Chains A and B, each alone.
Chain A
């Protein structure tokens, strides 16, 4: 089945650091990737939708300058949390779907747990 790899799985860093998270589709071409954020004991909240070769679409309330998304190829999207602060600590999960996968299940990465000290 389709596999999505997310890296790193865990990051601990100091306040003010920028952190990059990678999301790769391993066996299919991901025309669209999604970035979610999940707080403890809460559900997944969509942050942005990333289409290959174009600018990401951010959900209301998500700062595009804070959370930079790049989807430069059909197998890789990156999320960079710029100048991270403790309130950015969270579980970030990406998902991906292929070219004809609009109404198909998204495939999720294993998530990145980000802790900002």
Chain B
């Protein structure tokens, strides 16, 4: 079964902390890996990673892919309460279907 596994499942931090979210996947039919942020409604796109070792950054968020070890991390520095959300990792498979992980529920306390 093609799986994407995220850890931790949930995390509570204080404003200003740095967090690292993990995503591991199976190598079968891998095309790309994506990170999404989901608040109350639909997921919003954060990053798409296709090549290993190239960090992508957007403000306080950054992400990198390790295709040898089959994982990706999403880092958020200087967290704010607005970062509270579920962060989803998804693998694009050979047939271009998305396989989502269970998500990491992040809560940032003021």
Contact = CB atoms under 8 A, between A and B. Distances in A.
Contacts of B100: 43-45
B19 interface: no
| Tier of interface size on chain A | 20 to 34
Nearest to B45: A105
Given A43-B88, A103-B32, A34 B98 contact: yes
A103 B103 contact: no
A41 B105 contact: yes
B41 A110 contact: yes
A61 interface: no
A43 B45 contact: no
Interface of A: 6, 32, 34, 41-46, 49, 93, 95, 97, 102-111
Interface of B: 31-32, 34, 41-45, 48, 50, 88, 92, 96-103, 105
